[in-house]
Structure 1
Amino acid sequence: MPQNYAIALLLLSNSFHQSTLVVLVPVLQSIYDLPLSALSLIIGGGLLVSAASVPLWGRLATRHGTKPVLIATTTASMIGIAVLAASVALTISSDQFIYSGLFLLIASRLIYSMSACAALPISQALQVSSGQATALLGRLGSLGAVNSLGRLAGNGLIGPLLTFGILLPVAIVLPFYAFVLHGLRRTSWPEPAKLARQAQKIPGYRLPTVGILSAGGIQLAVGGAYVLLGPLLKDRLALSPEGASGVAGLLLMAALATGMVSQLFLTRLFRDRFMSAFTIGCGLASCGFAFLVVGSTMAGLGIGTCLLASGTALALSANQATSLAAANDIYRSQTSTLLASVQLLGLAAGTSLFGILGSIDVAQALTAAAFLPLALAIAVPSHHFLKASLQTIREGSHE
């Protein structure tokens, strides 16, 4: 199995499992006899665990190479899912094992959250050296699209899989992880970090400040949109809480599909014009927010949600491409995992911050969130233009 197929299957398996686990919350709540708040803390807490652990995997990749790290994270993810399957099987077998099952559930979430988070950013870092720079944005978009496809498949297949019992949707990805491990072990690719260490030529690491601020700002706005969409639908369309949740789920599915199309096709239109892609992506996201702020119909709110998803997918891919292209070969995995950690933290912070603001006024909270991509669309290209101008002036003065 070639390297790209192994990585694609790994990303599909990860995103499929993560999406099915979210949908399975009511079933797991019944199995473990837990209140929703406690189970949400166990499952959602994995976001913070991932944010804390993913930069560590980047450092390990810098020290030991990407291949052993991908093998280690895949193995750990496989173990985490196996422990979750054992937890479910143990708990449903008898009520006397409920505490043992709960302990295994928490252990499985810790293992999986600490390991699976590294697959996408390290795979993105590998794309820089796997082809021409003009195709980098398209390759990053393809990885994002594969990730989105796994989430769509998880959401769509959970119903049919549950007809065969709770264990099947939990454990179905385990054989695919085995195929991934087989494929990763049989392939090899350049390891600049290893070569540099052997030559004892290791430059200092430069923090991608602009990339970090951009990724955090975009995800802060996305987190706000996620948490405010349900209350917005309830107010604008006069829906019941249950109805608003159902419509929000449908709109988010449509947004996920739209983002996948953007990652597959829009990223290829810009080739190596990363800053143009970033600016237009932020502009599309701002237009999406505008539709959400003023929209009063299902069509208007749906268009806003899809524009937001398309724009943020393009902007995040462009930001990743800009940061990776500027990074030294040795530190690309470290840069990619750092950006992934910031995105997770931004998403968590946006959900919390705009959830609080939305409890005061949903429309004003959305308006505040809309200014984030708009500000980035102006500030980041301006920064790059000024930086390039200063560089040209310096080079002219030396001549």
Structure 2
Amino acid sequence: MSSLKPLAVAVSGLFALTPALAADLVQKVKPPVSQAYVDLATFSGGMPAMPGGGAAGMLGSLFNKGNGGGNTFGQTQGQSQGRWMDVVLLTRNNTNLKTATQSVPAGSRLAPTLNLLAPEPQPHQAPERNIPDDEPAKFEMPKGKMYLYWGCGTEVRKGQPLVIDFARMDVTQYNKFFQNRGATARVPTPVPGRPAWPNKTDARLLPEGASMAGEHAFAGDGIVDGFKFNIDAAHDLMPAVEATRSDDGKGVLFKWKAMPQATAWFVQAMGMRDTGHGGDNDMELVYWTSSELPDMGMGLVNYQPDSAIEKWRKEKVLLPASATECAAPKEAVGATAMSRVIAYGDELNMAWPPRPKDPKITWEPQWDVKVRRKSVASLMPGMDSMATSAAMSGHGDDVSSGPPAQPAPAQARTPTATDVITQGAVGLLRGVFKK
């Protein structure tokens, strides 16, 4: 019998651990039946909404974001002046959903509903045959250099700038230079079965003074009943960033008005230097960001999840919500540099029914919705401030349900400093990324 005692002790100890193991039980979570994604964006300064042309159109074509004109889906990822909203809806109950409606509050000035529409399926195209050329393709590395400065202050810090010479670039140099933080989640895009707004049947612009605060509801074939939620005033469209830049002999000072809705700030500048050697690719591209750690900022001037914002605030990659200014060395931000100031807004995530507190109960949400917000100001060369009220009033009070009128043909114009900078930057970057 004595030989059984150790076994009995071991078994009793196992049962004694059971409550602790239960505490670590992972709750089973099923995907929501219906989901909606709402992106809200405010852009001030920069390029007005126009058909495809100019610097905004070139950058949009490079990064496949927006189309530079009209209210089409994707303008929240562009840089055209104004206030924009993108909505995508999907449901597991109907993967072929074509249309749906979104009830919106009266303050949106688009009430009572938005008409969501899924794109039509595209005809299948056979892949192109890869016919080899007689001679292998030749790649000519673009001429030029890139410089990266970072941190607030008028003095160039020790170890700066990082320099990359495209003619002599190696992998180690490339990885050291191209540091771009970013945790922007990709939301589902409009495809057959996922209706979205705006679209070809409902391309209304957000009227001046529109507010999304209030009750919203989605309805459609396969959308769960009771898909209703409220956007509170704290998670409404963000106001325009009111920013200025001033240059003196020591450096460049960026200042902006405090914004209660902002959770953090970030400033980025990009400019071109002409080496004087001639040639389209013989240029120098100069970056500066407000981060205390090296970062080009290409991934940061966009929506970021709350967890990433909190992390990067602690690391001083992002400026705190209370910040209202940041200076840069004169070597880092030239007179023709384009600059952007972004105010991040926190996300609004809601689901029904709420998640059970008991981990042993499976969570089966019927619907969930994610609302993301940001406000970005662009300071173009030659502009020491932005007339934000004028930028925001460009939409007028057009609340017609049909698509916008076709724009008039663009007038010929003399290229601006912005065009020259952007064309040089785009050409240089395209050469690099085609490698």
TM > 0.5 fold call = no
Structure (1 or 2) with the greater helix fraction = 1
With the shorter chain as reference, the TM-score category is under 0.3
Structure (1 or 2) with the greater strand fraction = 2
Structure with greater Cα Rg? 2
